[in-house]
Structure 1
């Protein structure tokens, strides 16, 4: 059968020149210049070189971004997109995650088309064990035994000729899945504000929120402050 598995989150790609794109979108709203001139011209360079006039540090471009996010004009951040690989997450998390629909796109590994039988490529279904169960030896052993029994049930149904789309009905919420997810920056900031650790979200989606933030900030360090404000 499959194994207990841990979450893995990886940023696959994101909008090139994201900071310059954000600047162009913001200044398009307030400048008489065309977006093509704002992106290719000297104005961005001037904002980058000038010291922030709000006294909060960084460049005047940083000041502009702070002002826009602080004023709630974050539609200008929808032009920046991030695509992630989410691996080893439970079906519980999937049900919570897909409630966030505006600004998100999801492609999910199918239990209808991908077999979870022990003798197929996956070698059975993998599963996520909640920490509160894992930290109690007796509960962890019982949980693992239950996963084995469900695998046996799935394999038996497959052996009897039941199609994957029907055999999957015995698989638990703990069964793991893989997701390719794309989200724009505005959607990610909203998601993080609702699901970040300390806001009452369940442990797995709170962990996902933090991993997404880490991946975004690693690629675009200037965005760290906006996640802190979320």
Structure 2
């Protein structure tokens, strides 16, 4: 049993398929293929979705036939980036955000409290796979070595923080001892878990599309009244998406 900190890592995201990449390599201008390599792949998918709504071209033709216009020219709205950036900005600001639901991101979330998990699952259009307290055993002698827990920073911000911290840690220890004793008496793990606290940490694989992620961030970012832990989660998710797709940063700033 130990205190843990939240950690979020992007483990996957939407990319163009090998078949589509081969089509682009064979039919699109070399400059277009180079422009969308790696960090612009998500933009190419977004462009395909957006222009499908307005173009006479087929979805598989849009980047091939229109890619030079959008990726090869500077933005005409006076802002940064290319015409692809301008088009996505226009779509975002006009609230036609269904077109960015095609971009998905997969995260490993480690060390989130069950308290924050209950807040997280209120958000729709995310998919979750959560570490089970039924099938994973959290006894002191089990492989986990007991349950890990999250301590709120406010515990250390009290007038006598040392005593507050000791009180909190004692509550965690008591919960662990109760869990262990129930297991020793033959209570199955799925029922012994009822004594585990909201502070108990869990691991999650979480997937969301860009629209859902931006909506989540707008409601849970710091300064919007969100509790500290889920605000930290929102910040870490934002950082992971921006690192993978730098062009998304402006949209996090605007929500």
Cα RMSD, aligned residues only:
0.8
Give the corresponding residue for 1:226: 251
Which of the numbers 70, 78, 89 marks the counterpart of 1:66? 89
The answer as to 2:141 corresponding to 1:141 is no
For 1:197 and 1:131, locate their aligned partners in 2 and report how far apart those are by CA, in whole Å: 15
Give the corresponding residue for 1:32: 56
For 1:51 and 1:9, locate their aligned partners in 2 and report how far apart those are by CA, in whole Å: 34
The alpha-carbon deviation at position 42 of structure 1 amounts to: 3.4
**Could you state the TM-score of these two structures normalised by the residue count of structure 1?**
0.97
Q: Is the 8 A contact 2:103 2:210 kept in 1?
A: yes
Give the corresponding residue for 1:193: 218
Give the corresponding residue for 1:47: 70
The alpha-carbon deviation at position 149 of structure 1 amounts to: 0.9
The alpha-carbon deviation at position 26 of structure 1 amounts to: 0.4
The 1:42–1:32 alpha-carbon spacing in structure 2 relative to 1, beyond 3 Å, is closer
Which of the numbers 104, 113, 117 marks the counterpart of 1:90? 113
- Runs of 4+ in structure 1 over 2 Å off: none
The answer as to 2:98 corresponding to 1:75 is yes
Shifted more, 198-207 versus 52-61: the winner is 52-61
Give the corresponding residue for 1:23: 47
For 1:5 and 1:160, locate their aligned partners in 2 and report how far apart those are by CA, in whole Å: 29
* Structure 2: gaps (5+ residues): 16-40
For 1:124 and 1:36, locate their aligned partners in 2 and report how far apart those are by CA, in whole Å: 52
State the secondary structure of the residue aligned to 2:53. helix
The C-alpha deviation readout for 1:134-193, integer Å capped at 9, x for no partner, is 342211111001101110000000000100111001000000000000000000010001
State the secondary structure of the residue aligned to 1:167. helix
For 1:214 and 1:198, locate their aligned partners in 2 and report how far apart those are by CA, in whole Å: 17
Give the corresponding residue for 1:100: 123
* Structure 1: gaps (5+ residues): none
How many residue pairs get matched? 227
Give the corresponding residue for 2:140: 118
